[in-house]
Structure 1
């Protein structure tokens, strides 16, 4: 296995871990513990199942760290294709995306402090603490809407690198551009027309599976030197 192929598979494996871990806080914890419009019940659920909630904090931290390593692995794989686009990918995907993960953990940590109360929060009665905890939980969700912009933007330089490489399918480059556009549109729908957010997400959500397919390609097949030349030669032979 060549060093380039090994790097591609490492990036795919790290990417797979993000895909597997991220839904825990994004989907499972809200469905298991949060009750829409009922702050008291939500706070009671968090207090009763604190370990489950704390695992949500941990998974956000892990995903933030993993995204930094994913971007580093992809930079090692594709940085020589175009240094400028490689640095843009590294900044957006390896620095800003993880930073938002780490920042968003503070919203959950604040909610947990309010659930426990304590001397510093004695001036607030339980209903007030519950309302403030719900506010921070909602801020966590709002930060996800903002983060979608960066989730999309980092895919654009990645897509250009894939298009300019000679060892990854060009189709993934075009598909990653569509994937990035889907995230960007969803983020602007969150900011400008939140009443459209669910509809936009349901329409554009399938495009986000491009990342999953790309990750599986890297993990299973790695970087294949001369991949496009082989394809072109096969096509030329077929034409003859």
Structure 2
């Protein structure tokens, strides 16, 4: 196995790890614990399954940490294609980590309010439940804001894949479309919430671009670039 292919497989491993862990808090836990339009049922669900909610917090922290490693491994893979574009990808991809870490604070605050410890005795249960619901909604809004960077970093990544010569160009096109899908989800969530379900339904198949890319580089690696391409100064 050549070094290029080895680096691609390492990046693919971390990418797939992010893809597998991130949905724990984004999709699985809301589907199990949250009841749309019913604050009391949602709070009761978190209280009854506190450990599962804690797993969601841990999952977001792990996702943020692994994302940081992922962006570095992808930078190492593509820096010889174009260093400036690779650095742009690295900077935009880096934003994933602080946003994930910051957003866990909302879930931590929610958990404390749901537990109702003695130092919150000055707040009634109705007040605590209201505050917990507010933090959950802030978490959701922060997720929509994060999707801006989830989308933006895919554009320089797509450009690098397209120019690389060691990966198929259809992956680059799919990644770029995936980026547009994230930006559309962010727009709907922040500005037009009534469009959320419609945009999510359209965006889902488009978001499989990341899955296809991660599986490709993990399983197939990267083909060695021709000697002529290696002699061409691409890192302008």
Q: Say yes or no: TM over 0.5.
A: yes
The CA deviation string for residues 42-101 of structure 1, in whole angstroms up to 9 with x for no partner, is 2222122111110000000011111111111100100111111111111111x2111111
Distance in 1 between the 2:208 and 2:157 partners? 16
TM normalised by structure 2 equals 0.92
Highest relative contact order (Cα 8 Å, sep 6+), 1 or 2? Answer: 2
SS of the residue 1:172 aligns to: helix
Q: 2:12 — aligned with what?
A: 12
Describe how 1:133-212 pairs up with structure 2 within 5 A.
Answer: 133-212=132-211
Is the counterpart of residue 51 in structure 1 residue 51 in structure 2?
Answer: yes
* Structure 2 unpaired stretches of 5+: 229-236
Describe how 1:36-47 pairs up with structure 2 within 5 A.
Answer: 36-47=36-47
The CA deviation string for residues 89-137 of structure 1, in whole angstroms up to 9 with x for no partner, is 11111x2111111111011000011012224322210111011111111
CA contact (8 A) 2:114 2:132 kept: yes
CA contact (8 A) 2:86 2:157 kept: yes
Describe how 1:88-107 pairs up with structure 2 within 5 A.
Answer: 88-93=88-93, 95-107=94-106
Q: 2:76 — aligned with what?
A: 76
SS of the residue 2:207 aligns to: helix
* Structure 1 unpaired stretches of 5+: 230-240
Distance in 2 between the 1:186 and 1:26 partners? 14
TM normalised by structure 1 equals 0.90
Q: Stretches of 4+ moved more than 4 A in 1?
A: none
